[in-house]
Structures are given as C-alpha cells and as structure tokens.
Amino acid sequence: MNIIIVGATSGLGYETAKIYLEKGYNVGLAGRRVERLSELQSLYPNTCYIEKIDVTKEESIEALESLIDQMGGMDLFFLSSGVGKQNRSLEADIEMNTVATNVEGFTRMMIFTFNYFSKREKGHIAAISSIAGTKGIGISASYSATKRFQNTYMEALEQLARGRKLDITFTDIRPGFVDTDLLADRNYPMLMNVEKTAKQIVKSIESKKRVVIVDYRYKMLVGLWRLIPKKLWVRIKL
C-alpha cells in the first residue's frame, strides 16, 4: 500500500510516518521542512519518498502530483498539516494565517485527493481535525471555526462519494491536546503523549473508522460540551 502524509515534518504527522515506515509500507512524506524528512528517508531509503509541500501555496498540487508519480500511485492520503494558537487579542495576522492553512490549504488538498480517488473509484482520505470543532472557543476563534469547517467538509465529501457510488473511505481524526510543537506556546491540561496518540491514529485508520476522538478523556469532555446550551456556553470565561 502506498501512503502519503502531508504535514509529516513534526508532531503527529512525523510520528505516524515512523509507524507506517516501520510496518514496511511505501510512504511519501511532505512538509515545509524537508531536512527533517530527509532523516527518515536515510533510515528507509527503499520505502520513503519526500517532497517539499506548503499547503497554502497553489504549487503544492504539482508537488503532490510529483510525489504520487515517484511512488507509482496513492492508496491512502493522510493530511496532518494544521496551525492554531490562542489569540485572546484577536490579532488579524494570527487569524488569517490559521484560515490560510486550515481552510484554504486543507480544501486544496481535499479537492485534489478526492478527484484523484474518484478517477480510481476507491481510496482512503484521513485528516487530523480537532475536538475544538465541537464548539466555538473564544480564545481560539479561528482555530475552532476552521476545525468545524474541516469536520463539515469531510462529511460533505463523504456524501458526494456515496452519491457517486465511489469506494472512498473517510477518517476524521479529532485529538485533544497533544504534547507537540503546536501547543508549545501555552500550558494545556490533559496533554497526551504524541507517540501513543500516533499509534491510536494508525489503528483507527487501519480500522477505517469514520470519526475518531482521541482519547477516552476527550470523548467524555466532548460529550459534556455538547450538553451545554449555547446561551450558557457563550458566558463561560476561558
């Protein structure tokens, strides 16, 4: 099986890549910092392929096509690219950068991979969104909003695939707080170990689960959030 991971230079993308490479799969790795990817390629020279991809750039599609060509095809596409920061002061640059990556970049990747698998009439699309998409979070407005967008977009693509009778599987992975560079600027409760989380992600993808909340503590938290009425939620101070 040929797997492509976009956003593999750090965090969950990097750890997931290591697992798949250790399992012996052909894995294409993409991200903005190719030097980090080169380290993995040196360990797995026969099964690891790399390409520099910035999902916010239009030329990222050409780079992705090049990576697919190197590998001779793609069976599983896993999107791990994403940004997000707490932004209490609602600085415009932070908000717009988040939208550029989590909406524009995400959509660009989804359009291409959906059309690619449509031509083959089968495939598997997986992406890391977040439990933050459950509710609008004031201190992370753009992050929670863009993650809700991702949840809805994947749901819409699944409906589109079913309507066309395409054998395309979708896996929406919604982690809680994971101890990665993405959260390095703040202290977060219930931080999850990145290696353990990556193992759960791989297991969920292999099981072809539709929506995955990682881990059980966050399943309970999301369940609680959903019970809170909107009028009460908007009055909660974070």
For the segment(s) 2-233, the CATH number from 3.40.50.720, 3.50.50.60, 3.40.50.410, 1.10.10.10 is 3.40.50.720
Task: Give 178-210 pLDDT, tens digit per residue.
Answer: 666 555 555 555 667 888 999 999 999 999 999
Ranges under pLDDT 70 in the chain: 178-191
Predicted pLDDT of residue 190 = 63
Alpha helices in the chain (DSSP H): 11-22, 34-43, 60-71, 92-99, 106-120, 141-163, 194-206, 216-227, 230-233
Predicted pLDDT of residue 48 = 97
State if pTM tops 0.85: yes
Predicted pLDDT of residue 11 = 86
Query: What six digits make up the tokens of 115?
Result: 């059309």
Predicted pLDDT of residue 220 = 85
Rounded Cα–Cα distance for residues 79 and 11 (Å): 12
Predicted pLDDT of residue 125 = 98
Predicted pLDDT of residue 189 = 56
Sign of the CA dihedral 215, 219, 220, 226?
A: positive
Name the one residue in this structure whose structure tokens are 């991809």: 53
Helix (H, G, I), strand (E, B) or coil at 227: helix
Domain extents for the chain?
2-233
Dump the DSSP string for 18-80.
HHHHHTT-EEEEEES-HHHHHHHHHHSTTTEEEEE--TTSTTHHHHHHHHHHHHT--SEEEE-
Rounded Cα–Cα distance for residues 123 and 179 (Å): 30
Residues, the chain, total?
A: 238
Query: What six digits make up the tokens of 191?
Result: 């931080």
Chain-centroid distance of CA 157 in Å reads: 15
